[in-house]
Amino acid sequence: MNKIVNDFSITVGTKNGSGSSTANNTILRSVFKMGIPVSGKNLFPSNIQGLPTWYTIRVNKDGFIARQDANDIVIAINPDSFVRDLASVTPGGAFFYSDDIKQPIPRTDVAIYPMPIKSIVKNDPNVPTDYRDLVGNMVYVGVLAQMIGMDMDKILAALTFHFKGKQKPIDMNFNALKAGAEWAKTNLEKKDPYHLEAMNKTDGLIMTDGNTAGALGSIFGGVQFAGWYPITPATSLAEGLNDYLPVLRKREDGKHTYAIVQAEDELAALGMAIGAGWAGLRSMTSTSGPGLSLMTEFAGLAYYAEVPVVIWDVQRIGPSTGLPTRTSQGDLTFTHFIGHGDSHSIILLPGDVYECFEFGWQSFDIAERAQTPIFVLSDLDMGMNQWMSKPFQYPETPMDRGKILWEKDLEEIKGNWGRYLDKDGDGITYRTLPGNKHPLSAYFTRGTGHDEHAKYTEDSNAYMRNMERLKVKHYNAASYMPKPINHPIKGATVGIIAYGSTENAVLEAQYHLAKEDGIKADFLRVRAIPFTEEVTRFIEKYDQIFIVEMNRDGQMYQILLTEYSQYASKFRSVAYHDGLPAAAKWVREGIVAVAVKDAVEKLNNKKESKSDLAFLVKILKSKSAKLSIPGVKPTATKSSSKKNSTISMIGNVSGSIIVMGSHNTSTINSSLNQAAIKTLAKHLGAELLKAIKENQYD
Amino acid sequence: MTETLPMAGATANVNLAGLSKNDYRGAPTTLCQGCGHNSISNQIVTALYEMNIVPEDVMKFSGIGCSSKSPTYFLNRTFGFNSLHGRMPSIATGALFADARMKGIGVSGDGDSASIGMGQFKHIMRRNVNMVYIVENNGVYGLTKGQFSATAERGLQLKKQGENPYMPVDICMEALVSNATLVARSFAGNPKQVKELLKVALAHDGIAVLDIISPCVTFNNQENAFHSYAWGKDHEEPLHEISYIAPRNEIILEREMEDGEVREVAMHDGSTVILKNLERGYDPTNRFEALRVMEEAQRNNWLVTGLLYVNTTKPNLTSIYNLVDTPLNRLTEVDLRPERAMIDKINSLMF
């Protein structure tokens, strides 16, 4: 059997609330400490106890650590998901299960390993009865460690970290783990190909989740106020503030430079944050889609009243009890246009936990500079899962507090100022803060009905002047937005634009598209709206640009269409939404499907190039493609021996090329006209027939 | 802080802060002539002037509605935020953290606080935010031209709306059960009492709810309406007279009132109201007694006015947070950004 080293996935199926997260984190951290690139994704239900939950770990020596949409090693602990878990194992993969589950095992194409978890724990006198299930999770880690070669020293280091050095739980868990490993050593014979071997690819890296990173970034950005309300998956961001602020902003006098308030709801959470931002504090809130819905009115007010505030949206699926524990990029257009009337929000789009930290502090600078709400769009995958990352970097630029006038400033200009007076011509006006004792400092804040001096007015011209200035302010902000990250590839002819947590999946797809599908795509990860000039230049460069995102309607695609209407014909939406962390598979299949559609259209209009034809032929011959001819039974093709007979048959029923993978949502139908079929057939010929006769015809 | 203030017109009538009454005024009102809210705005001006409070030491807030427009009509030199319907409390809660030395003055209405704002109203009570929370209560929506509010009494007849079928919300009772630390009711037609209660509220270190029955001259001023002048005049029953005596931040309550004292008070429209003190000593520090009095008043259709409840032992919100002495909004990077060395420490924790 060929060894497969450091390139596989491990999925553990347990019950929610069974305490398996310690075990799963131990696997993740141990692999990480072995120097092998790794990621862990918790695929959990909205439930405290009892429902099936999975944890999937991707190990990849090349650094492709997006979720792998296939389960090479499956560990089944939950009887309720046993059948499903067994069925999910890749052919040739490995299946470990707790041997107290008495269910038939019909598969013969995978290595089967029963594990006597219960009896091993029962025989350990040091494990109290109450802890048996909890510690039992460590037994499967031990068995797995033995079978794939996890380093015991690294495991101990992981446990020591997890239990913060407390010897008793470390010992209890490590002993159970060792017992599992010992048992496997004596009783199991290796029948699968998966092995771990230590590398040095994680040297100097850290591992954390985006919510912790966002909280820490906010603290290094000098957060002074947060109003928040619990909501999955954003809760741990605010909790991170509560955890780390007392440590990082500790003062000798024991007094505080910040206040974190758990509000009664999201309406109040943002209201408080806006009040604090208005009064001059570095202020924030964190929420997810349903909470953002509640915050909409306040966000609109803050936009018009020009109040700096940072709003984290850790995106999930919703509303109501919808899929609250599933990830999404579904709030992009919502946040972009949030509020009624005309509004354009500044949006930051972190792509990994490092950027959650970075944008954590930068967002305050941008908010105070632009005097407007800044939305930071994270998501559940980034926010709650553990990601490898380069270490956080101390902010290299001093805080930008924006245009604020204090007493001495007002003295200098003899109080001659207007809150909404555009003195510098950049759309950004000067503001004063409550507590300013200068008698000309105060102004009255309201929505749109004000003139340049914040006096109430319903004058049409004053309204229009203000609205135009706000627009100028928004587009000027592009000059100080985070620039996009470019991942070029040699000989690229098309582009990919993506954002947020899909980066790893897109990078992996980019590699395979170039290597196997003949699509060489330059990849630009956008990190902010408004778009910077780098985004414009990228768009100008390519005629075909795939916009990859995790939602149904292609929200970034929509915004690009609006902002770059002159280039609208270049954009192709590759949107996908199953609630799970992005996987390279759907990115690749989606792009291929759209590219096929484009090529077919060109073929239909006789505008194809050689490369279009070559691409179509390549795809139709590849395993990811399936060619179907509606209304024609497979037997019809069997009887055809001449090349041309096939062509006429397809032509008669208006042919359809469907490129699809195992995910049906990537399906895109492309109909070929008669002439196109003839052209294509000239190039496919016998090979097409062969493909149809063999396994590719459904 | 007062040394930067201009001392223009120093020979004119000035208070101990060196300010004339004009320094406390706002823009001309755009509310209806005879609106109770205008009278309240005037009393806010007078109360602050007489208490020598510098306008820059206060922040003013409001929600949406006729009442919420009124902060424009007093204290021009005070920062103000006209927020969203029912959400003045959250804006104020956040803003007052910026400079904990400052006092909030919030003006809301029954439409703003007793309906959409009910949640925030009750939560600002339990947080004991350092703010005077005035509810200019007229039982009707004015800006949208005369719909019932949640404080309108059952059976009230309004043009176009017919008869109100629902039980009313009692602002003071809601405040009290939400653990407000100061609860008072007054009547806009009794400006002296409004002013005195405002002074007590301004001196109170925490949330101070003033439910001020403020008749809507346009939409809800039928003789029989609970929130009308006529009803108020007939049914107002002050608990006791309050006098506020200046020593800073100390609430001095005149607990022992003469039983059965009767006093005529001139209203701004020239009429008078006969205020009658209750026939017994009333202890506003007794929460149980406050509830009982309100319950009794409801049963008898009385308008109990005066200081219903006060508790000066509870810390206000910002003091719970043990903030630094410097106002938070004057802190700089030195105070706010952790030292460079901390980044390595943090990275070492990120396994």
SS3 of A109-123: CCEEEEECHHHHHHC
- Residue A696, judged by CB atoms within 10 A of its CB (0-12, 13-18, 19+), counts as middle
Task: For residue B71, give the DSSP letter.
Answer: G
Q: Which two tokens stand for residue A276?
A: 């604090």
Is-same-fold flag (A208-389; A485-582)? yes
The pLDDT, as a whole number, for residue B293 is: 86
Cα–Cα dist B257/A420, whole Å: 53
Cα–Cα dist B72/B76, whole Å: 7
Would you call B95 and A434 a contact, using CB atoms and an 8 Å cutoff? yes
Q: Are A546 and A497 in contact (CB under 8 A)?
A: yes
Q: What is the pLDDT of residues A615-637, one digit of tens each?
A: 887 776 665 455 544 333 333 33
CA dihedral A474, A292, A212, A526 (to 10 degrees): -40
Contacts of A301 in chain B (CB under 8 A): 83-84
The pLDDT, as a whole number, for residue A131 is: 86
Q: Are B240 and B282 in contact (CB under 8 A)?
A: yes
- What pTM value is reported for the model? 0.91
Mean pLDDT, range A187-194, rounded to an integer: 97
ipTM, 2 decimals? 0.90
Mean pLDDT, range A514-538, rounded to an integer: 96
Would you call B329 and A456 a contact, using CB atoms and an 8 Å cutoff? no
pLDDT above 90 coverage of chain A, percent: 77
DSSP A638-669: HT--SHHHHHHHHHHT--EEEE--SSGGG-EE
The pLDDT, as a whole number, for residue A16 is: 86
Q: Are A244 and A428 in contact (CB under 8 A)?
A: no
**Nearest-by-Cβ selection for B322 from A256, A395, A456:** A256
Would you call B343 and A394 a contact, using CB atoms and an 8 Å cutoff? yes
The pLDDT, as a whole number, for residue B249 is: 28
Cα–Cα dist B275/B283, whole Å: 19
Per DSSP bridges, beta strands A283-287 and A309-315 are parallel
pLDDT band at A322 (very low <50, low <70, confident <90, very high): confident
**Nearest-by-Cβ selection for B4 from A265, A391, A437:** A437
Task: For residue B115, give the DSSP letter.
Answer: I
Q: C-alpha A176: how far from its chain's center?
A: 35
Interface A-B: count of C-beta contacts within 8 A: 225
Structural domains present in chain B: 21-241+278-326 (3.40.50.970)
Say yes or no to pLDDT of A579 above 80.
yes
**Nearest-by-Cβ selection for A279 from B77, B87, B329:** B329
Per DSSP, helices labelled H in A513-609 are 533-541, 555-563, 584-604
Say yes or no to pLDDT of A167 above 80.
yes
CA angle, A562 then A564 then A570, to 5°: 110
Q: Which two tokens stand for residue B163?
A: 């008869």
The pLDDT, as a whole number, for residue A370 is: 98
Q: What is the pLDDT of residues B168-220, one digit of tens each?
A: 999 999 999 999 999 999 888 788 889 989 999 999 999 999 999 887 777 66
Say yes or no to pLDDT of A460 above 70.
yes
Element containing residue A670 per DSSP (H, E): strand A668-671
**Architecture in CATH for domain A4-195:** 3-Layer(aba) Sandwich (3.40)
CATH fit for domain A208-389, picks 1.10.1740.10, 3.40.50.970, 3.30.479.30, 3.40.50.720: 3.40.50.970
pLDDT band at A685 (very low <50, low <70, confident <90, very high): low
Q: What are phi and psi of A95, to 5 degrees?
A: -130, 110
The pLDDT, as a whole number, for residue A672 is: 67
Would you call A439 and B5 a contact, using CB atoms and an 8 Å cutoff? yes
More confident residue, A223 or B280: A223
3-state helix, strand, coil in chain A (%, to 5): 45, 20, 40
Full 3-state SS string of A182-194? HHHHHHCCCCCCE
In chain B, the largest separation of any two C-alpha atoms, in whole Å, equals 77
Q: List the one residue out of A108, A127, A109, A110 whose CA is nearest residue A118.
A: A127
- Residue B125, judged by CB atoms within 10 A of its CB (0-12, 13-18, 19+), counts as buried
**Any idea which residue has 């009570």 for tokens?**
B125
Would you call B347 and A389 a contact, using CB atoms and an 8 Å cutoff? no
Task: For residue B45, give the DSSP letter.
Answer: H
Cα–Cα dist B66/B107, whole Å: 10
Q: Are B292 and B278 in contact (CB under 8 A)?
A: no
Contacts of A261 in chain B (CB under 8 A): 93-94, 127
Would you call B323 and A259 a contact, using CB atoms and an 8 Å cutoff? yes
Radius of gyration of chain A (CA): 29
Question: What is the CATH topology of the domain spanning A485-582?
Answer: Rossmann fold (3.40.50)
The pLDDT, as a whole number, for residue A686 is: 60
Range A308-344 burial, b when 16+ CB lie within 10 A, else e:
bbbbbbbbbbbeeeeebbbbbbbbbbbbbbbbeeebb
Name the region of A54 (left: φ>0; alpha: ψ -120 to 50; beta: rest). beta
The pLDDT, as a whole number, for residue B153 is: 80
CA dihedral B344, B349, B350, B351 (to 10 degrees): 120
Q: C-alpha B157: how far from its chain's center?
A: 28
Closest-CA distance, B323 to chain A, in angstroms, reads: 5
Which stretches of chain B drop beneath a pLDDT of 70?
1-12, 143, 219-226, 229, 239-281
Would you call A263 and B90 a contact, using CB atoms and an 8 Å cutoff? yes
Would you call B94 and A161 a contact, using CB atoms and an 8 Å cutoff? no
**Nearest-by-Cβ selection for A391 from B5, B336, B347:** B347
Element containing residue A95 per DSSP (H, E): strand A89-98
Cα–Cα dist A117/A121, whole Å: 6
pLDDT band at A448 (very low <50, low <70, confident <90, very high): confident
Cα–Cα dist A162/B194, whole Å: 61
Per DSSP bridges, beta strands A111-115 and A625-628 are unpaired
Q: Are A289 and A324 in contact (CB under 8 A)?
A: no
Would you call B346 and A392 a contact, using CB atoms and an 8 Å cutoff? yes
- Residue B335, judged by CB atoms within 10 A of its CB (0-12, 13-18, 19+), counts as middle
Closest-CA distance, A184 to chain B, in angstroms, reads: 28
pLDDT band at A643 (very low <50, low <70, confident <90, very high): very low
Q: Are A135 and A173 in contact (CB under 8 A)?
A: yes
The pLDDT, as a whole number, for residue A622 is: 62
Would you call A222 and B333 a contact, using CB atoms and an 8 Å cutoff? yes
Name the region of A81 (left: φ>0; alpha: ψ -120 to 50; beta: rest). alpha
Contacts of A444 in chain B (CB under 8 A): 71-72, 79-82
DSSP A347-386: EE---SHHHHHHHHHHHHHHHHHHTSEEEEEEEHHHHHS-
The pLDDT, as a whole number, for residue B224 is: 65
Q: Can you give the residue ranges of every domain in chain A?
A: 4-195, 208-389, 407-479, 485-582, 598-695
Residues in chain B, total: 351
Contacts of A277 in chain B (CB under 8 A): 94
**Any idea which residue has 């009102």 for tokens?**
B29
Would you call B102 and A301 a contact, using CB atoms and an 8 Å cutoff? no
Would you call B90 and A29 a contact, using CB atoms and an 8 Å cutoff? no
DSSP A598-627: HHHHHHHTT---HHHHHHHHHHHHSTTEEE
The angle, 0 to 180 degrees and rounded to 10, between the axes of the packed helices A210-220 and A235-248 is 40
**Nearest-by-Cβ selection for B95 from A279, A393, A407:** A279
**Nearest-by-Cβ selection for B102 from A269, A283, A434:** A434
Contacts of A399 in chain B (CB under 8 A): 332-333, 336-337
Q: What is the pLDDT of residues A95-106, one digit of tens each?
A: 999 999 999 999
Which segments within chain B are labelled E, that is strand? 58-62, 79-82, 103-109, 131-137, 140-141, 147-148, 157-158, 162-163, 182-187, 208-213, 236-238, 262-266, 272-276, 303-310
Contacts of A441 in chain B (CB under 8 A): 56, 79
Mutate to test the interface with A, among B79, B105, B129, B339 (most CBs of A within 10 A): B79
Closest-CA distance, B317 to chain A, in angstroms, reads: 10
Q: Are A436 and B56 in contact (CB under 8 A)?
A: yes
Omega before B191 cis (within 30°)? no
Contacts of A29 in chain B (CB under 8 A): 351
Q: What is the pLDDT of residues A258-297, one digit of tens each?
A: 999 999 999 999 999 999 999 999 999 999 999 999 999 9
Element containing residue A574 per DSSP (H, E): strand A571-575
Would you call B80 and A275 a contact, using CB atoms and an 8 Å cutoff? no
